Amino acid sequence: MSSSRRSVWLCTLALIAAGVASCGSDDDGLNDADAASTPSSVGVATRSSDTQPGSPQNTIAASPTSTSSAEPLAEAPSLRVTPLTQAADDPVDLVQDPVSGDLLIAERSGTIRRLGQDGELSDPLIEMAVATDMIEQGLLGMVFSPDGDYLYTNRVNPDQVTAIKDYHFVDGVPVGDPIRILEVPQPYENHNGGGMAMDEAGLLYIGFGDGGSGGDPHNNGQDAQTVLGSLLRIRPIPREATYEIPADNPFVDGPGAPEVWHFGLRNPWRFFLDQERDLLWIADVGQNVEEEVNAVDLSSSGLNFGWAVKEGLTEYERPHTPWGAADFTDPVYVYDHEDGRCSITGGVVATDDASQDWYLFGDYCSSEIWAMNADAMSDGDAPVYPLPQTRVRNPVAFALDGDGQAYVLDQSGFIGRITLSR
């Protein structure tokens, strides 16, 4: 095996701060909703000017390989959000300990707590120092190893360095100090990515934004030699402060950074390994115009998702540096910034019987939630349904427990269990 060990990784650059609009939130109380709506469909290569009632207005839906409209499913799913707690402090992620069965909640301020069956949040199991000057900093994501021995965390340190660390877990309790796996300095405060996933083979995927500011001033998205603007794939060596490069990574022998699995991303805040369908879903947050859902084969690698030459399906402004992958991989679905939409919160495909057909995602600003027919993705032909308004305000994450049950977390501190049905 030709994998090689890498020491802690570094990048460079400059400063400046750019904020993300934080939108108003007026909780209207418990409002679990069930309703059916009309889908919009993937497979139309131009802006849709005739969206049907109940579908997102001015939504753009596209497939680069198809020019015909998809045949929508006859029926939208119903959505139910069952409240678990309203008391989390800016929750950003949820995982289930495979050994103890505990649900753990990551809070952006740097704490990890248990969420009990009764909705009670425990005292912190883990506390860490993080930067919290702006909304995209802090503790941003976490994932357990499949055996439950290690919890991997993704944070922005007070010195504005992204740090990936592992915590050793024994019987539901962290033991000893965390060990640093990887560090990457962040040139700006925003676009820190934050999502993480681990596959059954123990490979860790980490989403990195383009480094921040606006418009990718250093063209990091198109530069696969930097880990910024990329999805990384590494094999952590637990407790050894290092990692291996999988031998089948696309740039293991150059010209890109060997950690890079895909690039051309702006801020892949949330992505999802769909091992049931062998799909990788990446929701990439847009700049001014479009939010995008990407879905590609799990086995494909070295793909260039286009930023900052393209924002969604629209030309942006950065030149394409002609090396690495020459062709852009376009999103399977985009939506624009009409009606207060501003930032996609990428989702999950639950595996419970009622929800297993649907990729759930939402918009942080408008608090809308959509369901895309996941099984139709392999045909490039996936209807997208707007789901009825719920009590969820400013959704920041969707997550699955060990049984594949879906959850939604919002900025107000609300965490709910999601059930879809037909």
> Which residues of this chain interact with Ca ion, rule CB under 5 A?
305-306
Q: Which of 181, 296 has the CB closer to Ca ion?
A: 296
Instruction: Give the shortest CB-366-to-Ca ion separation in angstroms.
Output: 20
Q: Which of 88, 303 has the CB closer to Ca ion?
A: 303
Closest CA relative to residue 273, chosen from 299, 247, 235: 299
Q: 124-132: list long-range contacts, CB under 8 Å, 24+ apart.
A: 125/173, 125/174, 126/153, 126/167, 126/174, 126/178, 128/153, 128/155, 128/178, 129/157, 129/158, 130/155, 130/156, 130/157, 130/158, 131/156, 131/157, 131/158, 131/159, 131/160, 131/189, 132/108
Q: Specify the amino acid at residue 56.
A: P
Q: Which of 195, 306 has the CB closer to Ca ion?
A: 306
Q: Which of 233, 262 has the CB closer to Ca ion?
A: 262
Instruction: Give the shortest CB-287-to-Ca ion separation in angstroms.
Output: 11
Q: Which of 181, 285 has the CB closer to Ca ion?
A: 285
Q: Which residues contact 342 (CB under 8 A, 6 or more apart)?
A: 20, 21, 23, 363, 364, 365, 366
Instruction: Give the shortest CB-245-to-Ca ion separation in angstroms.
Output: 25
Which residue in this structure is represented by tokens 């402090």?
A: 89
Instruction: Give the shortest CB-313-to-Ca ion separation in angstroms.
Output: 8
Contact yes or no for 303/35 (Cβ under 8 A): no
CA 225 to the chain's CA centroid: 22
Contact yes or no for 361/410 (Cβ under 8 A): no
| Backbone φ, ψ for residue 379 (5° rounding) | -95, 0
Instruction: Give the shortest CB-95-to-Ca ion separation in angstroms.
Output: 27
Instruction: Give the shortest CB-305-to-Ca ion separation in angstroms.
Output: 4
Instruction: Give the shortest CB-94-to-Ca ion separation in angstroms.
Output: 27
Contact yes or no for 250/342 (Cβ under 8 A): no
Closest CA relative to residue 313, chosen from 301, 303, 325, 305: 305
Instruction: Give the shortest CB-310-to-Ca ion separation in angstroms.
Output: 6
Q: Which of 144, 316 has the CB closer to Ca ion?
A: 316
Q: Which residues contact 51 (CB under 8 A, 6 or more apart)?
A: 40, 57, 58, 59
Instruction: Give the shortest CB-325-to-Ca ion separation in angstroms.
Output: 12
Q: Which of 43, 306 has the CB closer to Ca ion?
A: 306
Which residue in this structure is represented by tokens 């895909």?
A: 262
CA 96 to the chain's CA centroid: 17
Q: Which of 157, 287 has the CB closer to Ca ion?
A: 287
Upper half-sphere CA count for residue 271 (Cβ side, 13 Å): 33
Q: Which of 281, 305 has the CB closer to Ca ion?
A: 305
| Backbone φ, ψ for residue 282 (5° rounding) | -125, 120
